A and B are shown apart, each in its own frame.
Chain A
């Protein structure tokens, strides 16, 4: 009986340790993506969308429309790489000026910057994995 308790305790502990290591690895990856993403944002996005993500009047849209980001999640990488020429509706306002393409950004940088954007400015949508970006890029219209 005593042995049984000791063994089960040991197994429980190791399972818990294993799981927490998993969670930590995930959250470490998220932290890394987010931190790197903020640097990519500074270089490639901040000039127009501003440090606070609020954009500029009705010329440049803000990045705080969580609903838009969620419903268009699969298109976000395409928007960055190929730019935007059509008008888009953000927070109920039509934005008509074109967004320039950022063709030189690698998928890993896109994943990082999208992780940063979708988890800043009031958004909280978790990690944007590089695999997801690769998949999305294949489906760009």
Chain B
């Protein structure tokens, strides 16, 4: 009997720790925020408006239009890349692929890779890239859009950095961030897509974020 009680102790601990985690862990909301006053039931309350990803409409590798509405039921990870990029993109694609493999088949999770070289990365090129990478267009969209629009979206929407630079390998310099976006289009995390530990963190955070929606419903 004694033996039984002792063996239970670690299990109790696991329970306690996991219980704590579930209740307390929530991801921060990143980006600009602005307080607004509104009247609810005759009382003035202060509410916060968070930065959201502006509406966009781009074509994916199957020539299907992807916009904010088509992503309303899922959280997603976004990044910026180009297919002929010799610097950080392959390692980013590799890391994104490992995230994709973890969440494969989960319809609540999507992936968006915006090309920042629309001149070269036409729909057929993106299609070939996706096929060779071995990913399904239902979950991972490679998006083609007008260059200025994409650069602007990167800068103001995702707070990510892209610019043309003839000195950089491939002609474009950009940051290698993976951005985690929730169903309300708010930025919930930014991770260095070339760093394996941060990518692991992202995978954990995605579970946390998915859990937020589960507990809400």
- A interface residues (Cβ-Cβ under 8 A, vs B): 47-48, 50, 56-60, 96-98, 100
What's the minimum C-beta distance from B42 to chain A, rounded to whole angstroms?
60
Contact present for A50 and B90 (CB under 8 Å): yes
Q: How far is the CA of A122 from the CA of B199 in the complex (A)?
A: 28
Kindly report which residue of chain B lies nearest to residue A51, judged by CB atoms.
B91
Cross-chain contact of A57 among B91, B133, B169 (Cβ < 8 A): B133
B53-110 with Cβ < 8 A to chain A = 83-84, 86-88, 90-91, 93-94, 97
CB of B129 within 8 Å of the partner chain: yes
Contact B134 A57 (CB under 8 A): yes
Interface residue SS majority, chain A: loop
Whether A57 and B87, one on each chain, are in contact in the complex, defined by CB atoms closer than 8 angstroms, is: no
The smallest C-beta distance from A22 to any residue of chain B, in angstroms, reads 41
> Looking at B83, B90, B129, which has the most chain A CB atoms within 10 Å of its CB?
B90
CB atoms of B132 and A47 under 8 A apart: no
Chain B residue nearest to A59 in the complex (CB): B132
Is the CB of B128 closer than 8 A to any CB of chain A? yes
Additional A-B contacts beyond A57-B97, A59-B129, A100-B170 (6; CB < 8 A): A47-B87, A57-B133, A58-B134, A59-B133, A97-B84, A97-B132
Question: Which A residue sits closest to B84, measured CB to CB?
Answer: A98
B132 close to A57 (CB less than 8 A): yes
Q: What per-residue 1/0 map shows which CB atoms of B12-50 lie under 8 Å from chain A?
A: 000000000000000000000000000000000000000
Instruction: Identify which of B84, B88, B97 contacts A47 (C-beta below 8 A).
Output: B88
Contact present for A50 and B94 (CB under 8 Å): yes
In Å, the complex CA distance between A98 and B97 comes to 21
What are the 9 closest A-B residue pairs judged by CB atoms, nearest first?
A: A58-B132, A48-B90, A100-B86, A59-B132, A57-B133, A56-B90, A57-B134, A56-B94, A47-B87
What distance in Å separates the Cβ of A90 from its nearest Cβ neighbour in chain B? 13
Contacts of A97 in B (CB 8 A): 83-84, 129, 132
Give the one of B83, B86, B169 with max A CB within 10 A.
Answer: B86
B87 CB contacts on chain A under 8 angstroms = 47
Contact string against A for B residues 156-169, beta-carbon threshold 8 Å, 1 for contact and 0 otherwise: 00000000000001
Please give the distance in Å from B126's CB to the nearest CB on chain A.
12
For residues 112 through 165 of chain B, which have their beta carbon under 8 Å from a beta carbon of chain A? 128-129, 132-134
Q: Which residues of B contact A47 (CB under 8 A)?
A: 86-88, 90-91
Determine which of A60, A96, A98 lies in contact with B90 in the assembled complex, contact meaning CB atoms within 8 Å.
Answer: A60
Q: Inside 8 A of A57's CB, which chain B residues have their CB?
A: 97, 132-134
Inside 8 A of A48's CB, which chain B residues have their CB?
86, 90
Q: Bound state CA distance, A97 and B133, in angstroms?
A: 12
The chain A residue with its CB closest to the CB of B134 is: A57
Are B93 and A56 in touch, CB under 8 angstroms?
Answer: yes
Which A residues are CB-close (under 8 A) to B86? Answer: 47-48, 100
Find the B residue at minimum CB distance from A100. Answer: B86
- The chain B residue with its CB closest to the CB of A101 is B86
Q: Name 18 interchain pairs, CB-CB below 8 A, sorted by A.
A: A47-B88, A47-B90, A48-B86, A50-B90, A50-B91, A56-B93, A56-B97, A56-B133, A57-B133, A59-B93, A59-B129, A59-B132, A59-B133, A60-B90, A97-B132, A100-B86, A100-B169, A100-B170
